[in-house]
Amino acid sequence: MARKKIIAGNWKMNLLPKEAWELVDGLKEGLVIKPLVEMVVLPQTGLLSLVGELLQDSVISLGAQTSSKYRNGAHTGDGSPDLLRALGCRYALSGHSERRQDHGESDLEVAEQALSQIAAGLKSIVCVGESLSEREAGSYKEKIAAQVKALYSTVPKELMGELVLAYEPIWAIGTGKTASPEQAEEVHSFIRSQIAALAGEAVANLTPLLYGGSAKADNAASLMGKPNIDGLLVGGASLKSDEFLKIYQAS
């Protein structure tokens, strides 16, 4: 079975309601659907109801940028994955490096968050990746292996099919510095081998692996041309409908 391809736009903490409305409008208007490629947008939490409503007559999927590791209860300020599902989300990110950095989310917490997202009926896009110093020291594979291991030791086998992984080298996020297709493919193939060792070949072969870090219209096709790159997680370039549509078309 061919792996699903996903082009996801991480809007981060950007856009007010009117701007989100305009962006979604532009995407809906310009989208030429490719049946094997799913487009996903990931607005900040406060925009989810609005964007969910705007997407109701569209094939574009909705996702969230994070959620609590708890499902509900006394966790003031946290966001329940069940609520995300009820608002129409199909996906949620877990462990974006900005969350790991700004909120001290550990590998284990990220894994627990992913598990509670899946338990709530979402597909979890779990981000992994190394810093510049880890890349330069040559320790990036150990870092990523630990992140992947925590995930597959926490999520039970029967739910592993709901996971998507995103390789996002921290040094490439928002810097304009993209990993070369060869660098990205090397890590993607490493991640797939780690999943195979922890969860078996079947799970590894079916798990979509996205690349993120300054993905743009002019590098999308060469990245997506690699055998283990099944999609892109796009930050800055997902905030303009023309550019994001070009990335989608290039995939």
Summarize as ranges the residues that interact with ligand PGA (CB under 6 A). Answer: 10, 168, 173-174, 212-215, 233-237
Nearest Cα neighbor of 83 from 58, 46, 42, 120 is 120
Q: Which is nearer to ligand PGA, 166 or 199 (CB)?
A: 166
Question: Is 12 annotated as a binding-site member?
Answer: yes
Closest approach of Cβ 211 to ligand PGA, in Å?
A: 10
Closest approach of Cβ 7 to ligand PGA, in Å?
A: 12
Kindly report the number of other CB atoms within 10 A of residue 160's CB atom. 20
Question: Is 174 annotated as a binding-site member?
Answer: yes
Closest approach of Cβ 76 to ligand PGA, in Å?
A: 27
Question: Is 205 annotated as a binding-site member?
Answer: no
Task: Find the catalytic residue in 96, 105, 109, 134.
Answer: 96
Closest approach of Cβ 216 to ligand PGA, in Å?
A: 8
Report residue 43 as tokens: 């607005």
Kindly report the number of other CB atoms within 10 A of residue 57's CB atom. 7
Question: Is 149 annotated as a binding-site member?
Answer: no
> How many Å apart are CA 191 and CA 16, to the nearest integer?
36
Active site residue 168: yes
Active site residue 103: no
Buried b / exposed e along 172-207 (16+ C-beta atoms within 10 A): bbeeeebbebebbbbbbebbbebbeebbeeebbeeb
Nearest Cα neighbor of 239 from 5, 47, 84 is 47
Question: Is 10 annotated as a binding-site member?
Answer: yes
Strands (E), the chain: 5-10, 37-42, 61-64, 91-94, 123-128, 163-167, 209-212, 231-234
Q: Which is nearer to ligand PGA, 12 or 192 (CB)?
A: 12
Closest approach of Cβ 172 to ligand PGA, in Å?
A: 6
Q: Which is nearer to ligand PGA, 95 or 213 (CB)?
A: 213
- Tell me the backbone φ, ψ of residue 129, rounded to 5 degrees: 160, 160
Query: Coil, helix or strand for 9?
Result: strand
Q: Which is nearer to ligand PGA, 201 or 242 (CB)?
A: 242
Largest CA distance in the chain: 49
Task: Find the catalytic residue in 112, 130, 168, 185.
Answer: 168
Question: Is 11 annotated as a binding-site member?
Answer: yes
Annotated binding-site residues for substrate read 10-12, 174, 214, 235-236
User: Which residues belong to the annotated binding site?
Assistant: 10-12, 174, 214, 235-236
Catalytic residues: 96, 168
